[in-house]
Amino acid sequence: MVLLGIETSCDDTATALVADGRDVLASVSTNQDAFHAKYGGIVPEIASRRHVALLSAAVEDALGRANLALPQINGVAVTRGPGLIGSLVVGVASAKALAFALGKPLYGVNHLHGHIFAPFLDRSDPPPYPFLALLVSGGHSQLVAVESATGMRIIGRTHDDAAGEAFDKTARLLGLPYPGGPELDRLAQRGNPRAHAFPRHRPAADSLDLSFSGLKTSVRYFLESPAGRDAKHEDVAASFQAAVVDVLMARLHAAYKRGNYRAVILSGGVAANSALQTAFRTWSDRNDVTVFIPPPQYCTDNAAMVAAAAYHQRDVARVDPLTLSADPNLPFEFASLA
């Protein structure tokens, strides 16, 4: 069963073709250099990333790479929320039109569920249920208990900034270009994570919730202080990163101990962070936990994860092409969709 995935929840346009929720036949993102090289002259408004013409080109490109024609796909999967309404509607409208014209099933997917299924891509041993997911990106930071493909609930969340947002904003304080997360990671690799003791905030003693706003503020205060003005930026980056990783790992460990999980997954853009990956793998060895981290191209927003989620959730995600609507504030839990 080959599904065409379409993801336009934020400022990127992505398409993919995935067989059986696992085998990625093609995964295209219009922010890729290769895509620009091929279509830069064909789609005049390439700068306007939510343009419908751009999405059509991305669908064409994915089909070309997979060596498939549209009639050969078995259905269309699209992110219906949460995200930016102006971007979501482009993906949803295109997916509806395609599904209707082809007479194929349409599946509406929650963007966050997509991240949960990223570790299922391109591997023969998917995470076994029930598993715990740490979802960390520029827009989201949450711990999710995943009982089944459609039975999942958030058990910890950030009270303020998302982890990726803390990375981007701290990177800005350090004068690094956007997107700051990967830049900060690179800088931190040359620094001493114990050079500065930044706070590890916890909203409440028994809570699995997260908070990063205070950490960001501490870094700002430190950089404005006499000691901070002379501090090496690689040490500040490494010490900040160590604080974020400590907070995430402490909450992950507490959540793991409270449940009865067979595996733990790390997903979202921040999952590509090298210090977090190292801490996560060390933790899994020490506690003998089976862990999954998607490859970097499936950590960040992509359409393959959307197609995978639709496949695994196909019984409940199937929607009428004429009635599907984008929902910028789509709730996380499936039950509330009913």
Q: Which is nearer to other proteins, 13 or 284 (CB)?
A: 13
- 234: helix, strand or coil: helix
Structure tokens at 84: 């930016």
Q: Which is nearer to other proteins, 85 or 195 (CB)?
A: 85
- From 288, 270, 280, 307, select the one nearest 113 (Cα to Cα): 307
User: Judged by CB under 8 A, does residue 85 bind other proteins?
Assistant: yes
Q: How far is the CB of 63 from other proteins (least distance, A)?
A: 24
276 residue type, one letter: L
Binding-site member from 141, 273, 284, 313 for other proteins (CB under 8 A) = 141
Instruction: Tell me which long-range contacts 34-39 makes (C-beta under 8 A, separation of at least 24).
Output: 35/61
Subset of 216-235 contacting other proteins (CB under 8 A): 216-218, 220-221
Binding-site member from 213, 231, 246, 290 for other proteins (CB under 8 A) = 213
Subset of 92-121 contacting other proteins (CB under 8 A): none
Name the segment binding other proteins (CB under 8 A); options: 48-56, 226-234, 260-268, 308-316. 48-56
- From 217, 215, 184, 221, select the one nearest 200 (Cα to Cα): 215
Q: Which is nearer to other proteins, 37 or 204 (CB)?
A: 204
Q: Which is nearer to other proteins, 163 or 187 (CB)?
A: 163
CB 222 within 8 A of CB 236: yes
Kind of pairing, strands 152-157 and 141-146?
antiparallel
- From 10, 6, 30, select the one nearest 99 (Cα to Cα): 6
CB 106 within 8 A of CB 306: no
Q: Which is nearer to other proteins, 136 or 305 (CB)?
A: 136
Which is it for the CA torsion 93, 53, 300, 263, positive or negative? positive
Binding-site member from 161, 183, 234, 235 for other proteins (CB under 8 A) = 161
- From 120, 65, 125, select the one nearest 295 (Cα to Cα): 120
Q: How far is the CB of 75 from other proteins (least distance, A)?
A: 27
Site string for other proteins, 300-329 (x = CB under 8 A): ----------------------------xx
Structure tokens at 25: 């036949």
Can you give the binding site for other proteins, defined by CB under 8 A? 10-11, 47-51, 82-87, 138-141, 157-162, 165, 168-169, 172-173, 178, 213-214, 216-218, 220-221, 328-329, 332
